Amino acid sequence: MKILVLNGGSSSFKSSLYDVTGNEGAAAPRALWEAKVDWEHHPGAAEIQIKTASAVTTRSVPVKSPLDSLDPLMAMLPHRNDIHVAGHRVVHGGRAFRESTRITPEVRAGIARMASFAPEHNRLELEAIEAMERILGPDTVQVAVFDTAFHASLPPPAYVYPGPYAWVDQGIRRYGFHGISHQYTSRRAAAILGRDMASLRMITCHLGNGCSLAAIRDGSSIDTTMGFTPLEGLMMGTRSGTVDPGIVIHLVRHLGLSAEALDRVLNKESGLLGVSGVSGDMRAVLAAIDGGDARAQLAFDVYVHRLRSETGAMLASLGGLDALVFTAGVGENSPQVRAQAVEAFAFLGVKLDPAKNAQSPPDTDIAAPDSTVRVLVVHTEEEWEIARESYRVASATPPPVSPAGGA
Ligand code: ADP
């Protein structure tokens, strides 16, 4: 089954084509091709780059909106007429969508209702769904794979906020995000260890531009650091993570900040960028530290402090730990971050193999042989996980699932 995956963001989107048989193991197979469309660094244009096993093709196309790049992208693609299924990453599934779902008019309406929770994302994703229907034809099966769905298993004490109970009825609760990545990396880590998911207590650390942890027991997420939105929890590239809500009240009351200004400050001007004043990119922060920049050092230290304390929180929810898994840009590539995160738990007997850690080997156990907890680096494969979920949904017999209720 040839499955086209669309994974869109606010500055770029990734797209991949997989030929899925259903017999793949835990590791991701190679995509037939991968495309990246980037419009952030190309004002008024989008750069489309397509990689196949034998060639890389790059083209710049004028665009007014990100979705303008879909038609030229599709025109450039090999195997376009063989595509059976389009699988979309949808950031927010709210309460209505607890698992990957075949897209019907009702499902589209449900995703549109969720737009108030994730306005930037869900609107773009709906447009991508419409564009694919137009380009591939109405008979192509489309599947929504939600970033929140893996966390649908959170128990009430983990998802209810201690505000007024009316919040629960209004859908104001912890949802958790990066679920597609936490799901893939936890399964892959279990396979690398040769263990059954049902026998493992794991913390998966997705440390990219956005950062979140998940506490996973018996293959299910039981706690996570992101919440109602992807702003809660760890310090991130440009997002603050958790701050005292009293700061928000202060900023509104005494400095007159609007909702838009708060959104900008907390999502785009905080985190590594906000504290260091250098960049939201960990590589640039590390380079500035090497150059003796004290605020860059402070930003790194706050990042590590938050990572350690949130890891401790996940540890308490699990009541023990078998494996700690690092993934995404920082998690996969920064020996310093991994070493500092693990050091805090040395008293529990968690120990890295320093030589292995220094090499950042993908899909490897980097713990010392006598460590009480296995520590792994796993390369996240979100596009493959979306393809896998899309295959599962598309292979299942109709009727398609309708949303269970409001957001
Ligand atoms: P996204 O969340 O947008 O998918 P990524 O998973 O690619 O992002 O992660 C981006 C982050 O990874 C950036 O902060 C980048 O600096 C960091 N990163 C990438 N390579 C390295 C490296 N070698 N050392 C430290 N950080 C790195």
Question: Which pLDDT score, from 0 to 100, does residue 138 have?
Answer: 86
Q: Please, are residues 17 and 32 in contact by the beta-carbon 8 Å criterion?
A: yes
Atom of ligand 1 nearest to the CA of 285: 16
Question: Which pLDDT score, from 0 to 100, does residue 193 have?
Answer: 97
Question: Which pLDDT score, from 0 to 100, does residue 406 have?
Answer: 41
Indicate if 244 and 354 belong to the same structural domain: yes
Q: Please, are residues 8 and 91 in contact by the beta-carbon 8 Å criterion?
A: no
H or E stretch covering 146:
strand 141-146
Q: Which of 71-80, 314-323, 333-342 has the lowest mean pLDDT?
A: 71-80
Which tens digits make up the pLDDT trace of 244-273?
999 999 999 999 999 999 999 999 999 999
Indicate if 210 and 348 belong to the same structural domain: yes
If one residue of 283, 380, 385 were mutated to test the ligand 1 pocket, choosing by the most ligand atoms within 8 A of its CB, it would be: 283
Indicate if 205 and 106 belong to the same structural domain: no
pLDDT mean across residues, the chain: 92
Nearest CA-CA partner of 48 in 32, 34, 27, 29: 34
- pLDDT band at residue 10, thresholds of 50, 70 and 90? low
Structural domain that includes position 301: 196-381
Strands 85-90 and 56-62: unpaired
- Is 212 a pocket residue for ligand 1 (Cβ < 6 Å)? no
Q: Find the 360 Cα to ligand 1 centroid distance in Å.
A: 13
Indicate if 201 and 324 belong to the same structural domain: yes
Indicate if 113 and 201 belong to the same structural domain: no
Residue 181 within a domain? no
Residue 187 within a domain? no
Which tens digits make up the pLDDT trace of 65-80?
777 788 888 888 877 7
Could you count the other beta carbons within 10 Å of the beta carbon of residue 398? 8
CB burial class (10 A; 0-12, 13-18, 19+) of residue 101? buried
Which tens digits make up the pLDDT trace of 359-377?
999 999 999 999 999 999 9
| Catalytic member of 68, 82, 147, 301 | 147
Q: Find the 395 Cα to ligand 1 centroid distance in Å.
A: 35
- Is 209 a pocket residue for ligand 1 (Cβ < 6 Å)? yes
- Is 208 a pocket residue for ligand 1 (Cβ < 6 Å)? yes
- Is 236 a pocket residue for ligand 1 (Cβ < 6 Å)? no
- Is 8 a pocket residue for ligand 1 (Cβ < 6 Å)? no
Question: Which pLDDT score, from 0 to 100, does residue 405 have?
Answer: 43
Residue 68 is among the residues annotated as catalytic for this protein: no
Residue 219 φ then ψ, to 5°: 80, 0
- pLDDT band at residue 38, thresholds of 50, 70 and 90? confident
H or E stretch covering 33:
strand 33-38
CATH number at residue 292: 3.30.420.40
How many structural domains compose the chain?
2
pTM above 0.85, yes or no: yes
Q: Find the 131 Cα to ligand 1 centroid distance in Å.
A: 30
Q: Is the pLDDT higher at 53 or at 357?
A: 357
Q: Please, are residues 307 and 317 in contact by the beta-carbon 8 Å criterion?
A: no
Name which residue sits closest to atom 22 of ligand 1, judged by CA: 333
Residue 283 within a domain? yes
Residue 9 scores a pLDDT above 80: no
Residue 404 scores a pLDDT above 60: no
The CA-atom distances, in angstroms, between 365 and each of 158, 219, 323, 353 are: 29, 19, 9, 9
* Omega cis (within 30) before 403: no
Q: Find the 327 Cα to ligand 1 centroid distance in Å.
A: 10
Indicate if 126 and 219 belong to the same structural domain: no
